[in-house]
Amino acid sequence: MSGAELGQIAVNAVLLSGILALVALGFALVWGIMNIVNLTHGAFIVLGAYLTFWMHELWKVDPFLSVPVSMAVLFAVGFLVQRVLINQVIRAPLLATFLLTFGLEILIVNLLNFFFKADTRSVMTPYSGTGFSIGPVRVPWIRLGALGVAIGLVLMLGAFLTRTRLGRAIRATGMDIDAARLTGVKAPTIYALTFGIGAALAGAAGSLLSMIVPFDPNLGGGYTERAFVICVIGGLGNVVNVLIGAAVYAVVEVFVGSRVPALSQAVTFGILVLLLVARPQGIAGKSFS
């Protein structure tokens, strides 16, 4: 493998790791705080992609400018879903919430198939396909912009969770709900906010992905799987863990995909299996500090 190829692989892995971190962050937040494996996450990503697509098609809104709108809409959807549905089984065994979110994911996907059909869509802009070169290495503008937005949102969430009163309440609820209640934290509201934030991050990821990859109503399942693997690789607990998991996943997927594309997913999940055996808590462990 030449130096140019290694350089392109490294750049592609960095560009991919940012968007994957954003994909996994909302999933990790809900899982770490609420102990819910949210299978609706992928459907929220698809909803964000469709919101960006239709805003661009109908009103010519630049896809990057649609990200805040997708986040606001998905936050409202996630908040309502948690308060109306998931909150009813929040104390039930894990399997109950697992099946509920699985059912919601099927419902959303089928509704999208009904209203928008299974046609593959993508958001095309005047700068789609453009970029710049650093020697032999090519950097697409859209992927670089998506990386910047993703990193910005990841850092903002990290600051929110550590430096604001509401963020500390969310973390405290994840650490010890009974102790949090004694300090005046209203757990149902915190859970709804957490689920809403997770959905908003999924919406942002969907908006960015709509410019990078073609999508259809069934896109979300693969990204739910990626989010799960990233969380297991990095470990739950904080934003840094998600970044570590996303970086490892991106390097493996890009490297193996460039050499043996058909085996990229197999190798990634093989690493997941080995990690579960050797270090079940993930590379960075599970610390909510």
pLDDT for residue 288 is more than 50 = no
Q: Quick check: is 240 in a domain?
A: yes
User: What residue has token string 């089984």?
Assistant: 89
User: Cα(36)–Cα(227) distance, rounded to whole angstroms?
Assistant: 13
Q: Quick check: is 52 in a domain?
A: yes
3-state secondary structure of 125: coil
Q: Quick check: is 17 in a domain?
A: yes
What's the pLDDT tens digit per position in 186-195? 999 999 999 9
Q: Quick check: is 264 in a domain?
A: yes
pLDDT for residue 23 is more than 80 = yes
Q: 210: alpha, beta or left, given left = phi > 0 and alpha = psi -120 to 50? A: alpha
Task: Note whether 63 and 81 are within 8 A (CB).
Answer: no
Q: What's residue 217's pLDDT?
A: 96
Percentage of residues in the chain with pLDDT exceeding 90? 71
What mean pLDDT comes out for the span 119-132? 94
pLDDT for residue 34 is more than 60 = yes
User: Cα(269)–Cα(289) distance, rounded to whole angstroms?
Assistant: 28
Q: Quick check: is 283 in a domain?
A: no
Q: Quick check: is 249 in a domain?
A: yes
Task: Note whether 75 and 196 are within 8 A (CB).
Answer: yes
What's the pLDDT tens digit per position in 248-265? 899 888 988 888 877 777
Q: Total structural domains in the chain?
A: 1
Average pLDDT of every residue of the chain: 91
pLDDT for residue 82 is more than 70 = yes
pLDDT for residue 289 is more than 50 = no
**Weakest mean pLDDT among 85-94, 138-147, 279-288:** 279-288
Percentage of residues in the chain with pLDDT exceeding 70? 97
User: Cα(224)–Cα(132) distance, rounded to whole angstroms?
Assistant: 32
Q: For residue 246, give the CATH number of its domain.
A: 1.10.3470
Q: What's residue 284's pLDDT?
A: 63
Q: Quick check: is 286 in a domain?
A: no
pLDDT band for position 170 (cuts 50, 70, 90): very high
Quick check: pTM over 0.75? yes
Q: Quick check: is 289 in a domain?
A: no
pLDDT for residue 287 is more than 50 = no
User: Cα(174)–Cα(8) distance, rounded to whole angstroms?
Assistant: 40
216: amino acid identity, one letter: D
User: Cα(35)–Cα(162) distance, rounded to whole angstroms?
Assistant: 20
Q: 103: alpha, beta or left, given left = phi > 0 and alpha = psi -120 to 50? A: alpha
- Residue range of the domain that includes 170: 3-278
